[in-house]
Chain A
Amino acid sequence: MWGRSVGGVTLTFHLAGINNQNFLMRDAETGTYWQQISGRAISGPLAGKQLTLIPSDELTFALWKTEQPAGMVMKDVADFVDDYSAKDWDVKMKSEPTVLNFPEHGLANRDVMLGVTAFGESRAFPHARVLAEKLVADRVGSEEIILLVGPDNQSVRAFRAAIPGATSTGDIPLEFFRTPDGMMIDTQTGSHWNFKGCAIDGKSKGACLERIEAIKDYWFDWRQYHPGTTIYTGSGQRRHG
């Protein structure tokens, strides 16, 4: 999700091509071509400019409803409903061929990964493994992070595992455990934390962990755009891409 304002001008984007399984966009205002995955303008009057990333969540509708009961959902565009994907389109996509091949570390091209680029490192977490472990504590770059699976056992959010508001050098990394009802409890402050990363009781009550963007992507696509990526293979193991 990208901000559309560049240098005070609001851009309107059109689909302009499919480039290596991602797509190209062209803005109607300047005719500049932008790459969807990076938000970077690659050709045209605004070449070199960068769109601002807007943090977003990929969640199940059921879970999002509980967090935003007064929320609004985009309506289907009536004329094209028949062309929309089926619910299980990602299962069907698994067998489609890919244009690039990175048969490394036992990963298949269309393995779904959660990609994190933060604190000086790009790191890929196999989606299925995260869903199985439910709570992953790991390190990305200079910081400890956690990936938490939501109460719907499908949605995943990543957070910095540090007391909110403190600076990096003063932070004490928090150690978390998942409780049977899908929340987390930390050993330092004894607080329960919900899927929004906010403490609902204990010493940290009212504080919220810093969210980190975790992007769902196919392995071959993540590897193409993050050639130096490391891969999470289980607690305590680090491998390079």
Chain B
Amino acid sequence: MHSRRSALFLLFVSLAVALFFLVYPLYVIRPFRHQGAQELHAALFVLHWQHVVELVCAAAALIALAVLRLRIRTTIVTALVLICAALSFVNIFEVMFHPAGAPAFQYVRDTKLDGDEKVLAVNARAYPIRSISYHHIVNDRIVNETGGGVPIAVTY
């Protein structure tokens, strides 16, 4: 039937698009791979639209499934689209390197660090390299010389 063919086509197109919009940025932006400027911008463009596109693909797949009825293969394909959509909301980098959250501090006298451990220091605050090299980013707030608060990002 005409509508069956269209629905099948819609289902497979939504899978292809959902897979591309999930995998392409992960492929381009991954460690130990050199990214050229153009492909980085292409990957960021895909990322910018990723959530919207994934949700549209999920909706399209569900519509197609409704037309095609719940057969095993069509259900599996629809499930794959939904999985892609769900995964697109996961930040894999924050799964690998858990964010530090709001940092807590302790006085020097309460700190158990070897003397030769390295720290990244700004005025009276020190961030041990061994922890910031894991978290990569710490969003913090320091006080400058004139007493004003300065929001900072400690990066390593």
Report A's interface with B, CB cutoff 8 A: 1-5, 10-21, 23-25, 31, 33, 36, 42-44, 51, 54-62, 64-65, 68-77, 79-80, 83-87, 89, 97, 99-100, 152, 154
Q: Which of B125-139 contact A (CB under 8 A)?
A: 125-139
Interface pair A31/B121, CB less than 8 Å apart: no
Most chain A CB inside 10 Å of its own CB: which residue of B94, B130, B133: B130
Interface pair A75/B104, CB less than 8 Å apart: yes
* Number of A-B residue pairs having CB atoms within 8 Å of each other in the complex: 205
Interface pair B137/A15, CB less than 8 Å apart: yes
Cross-interface CB contact of A61 among B91, B118, B151, B154, cutoff 8 Å:
B118
Q: Which residues of A contact B33 (CB under 8 A)?
A: 99
Interface pair B34/A99, CB less than 8 Å apart: yes
Q: Which of B63-104 contact A (CB under 8 A)?
A: 91, 93-94, 97-101, 103-104
Cross-interface CB contact of B139 among A12, A60, A65, cutoff 8 Å:
A12
Rounded to whole Å, the gap between the CB of A79 and the closest CB of chain B is 7
Rounded to whole Å, the gap between the CB of B100 and the closest CB of chain A is 6
Cross-interface CB contact of A65 among B93, B108, B128, B137, cutoff 8 Å:
B108
Cross-interface CB contact of B125 among A2, A65, A74, A77, cutoff 8 Å:
A74
- Report if A56-B134 is in contact (Cβ < 8 Å); known contacts: A25-B153, A36-B155: no
Closest to A97 in B: B32
- Report if A3-B126 is in contact (Cβ < 8 Å); known contacts: A43-B48, A61-B113: no
Known pairs A2-B152, A15-B97, A75-B104; list 18 more (Cβ under 8 Å).
Answer: A1-B122, A1-B152, A10-B151, A17-B29, A18-B93, A25-B137, A60-B116, A64-B119, A64-B121, A71-B126, A72-B106, A73-B127, A73-B128, A75-B103, A83-B98, A87-B130, A89-B133, A97-B32
Q: Which of B42-77 contact A (CB under 8 A)?
A: 44-45, 47-48
Interface pair A61/B126, CB less than 8 Å apart: yes
Cross-interface CB contact of A154 among B48, B93, B116, B138, cutoff 8 Å:
B116
Alpha-carbon separation in the docked complex, A177 to B82 (Å): 68
Most chain B CB inside 10 Å of its own CB: which residue of A58, A64, A69, A83: A64
Interface pair A15/B99, CB less than 8 Å apart: yes
Rounded to whole Å, the gap between the CB of A5 and the closest CB of chain B is 6
- Report if A60-B115 is in contact (Cβ < 8 Å); known contacts: A3-B152, A10-B151: yes
Rounded to whole Å, the gap between the CB of A130 and the closest CB of chain B is 16
Rounded to whole Å, the gap between the CB of A17 and the closest CB of chain B is 4
- 24 A-B pairs within 8 Å (CB atoms) are namely A13-B137, A13-B155, A14-B94, A15-B91, A21-B31, A25-B155, A36-B137, A43-B44, A44-B48, A55-B122, A59-B126, A61-B114, A65-B115, A68-B121, A69-B108, A73-B107, A73-B126, A73-B127, A74-B132, A75-B104, A77-B131, A80-B98, A89-B130, A100-B34
Q: Which 10 A-B pairs have the closest CB atoms?
A: A62-B115, A17-B29, A4-B151, A72-B105, A43-B44, A71-B124, A18-B31, A15-B93, A73-B111, A75-B104
Interface pair B103/A74, CB less than 8 Å apart: yes
Rounded to whole Å, the gap between the CB of A1 and the closest CB of chain B is 6
- The yes or no answer to B30 lying at the interface (CB within 8 A) is yes
Alpha-carbon separation in the docked complex, A70 to B107 (Å): 7
Rounded to whole Å, the gap between the CB of A133 and the closest CB of chain B is 21
Q: Which residues of B contact A1 (CB under 8 A)?
A: 120, 122, 152-155
Alpha-carbon separation in the docked complex, A4 to B133 (Å): 19
Interface pair B116/A13, CB less than 8 Å apart: no
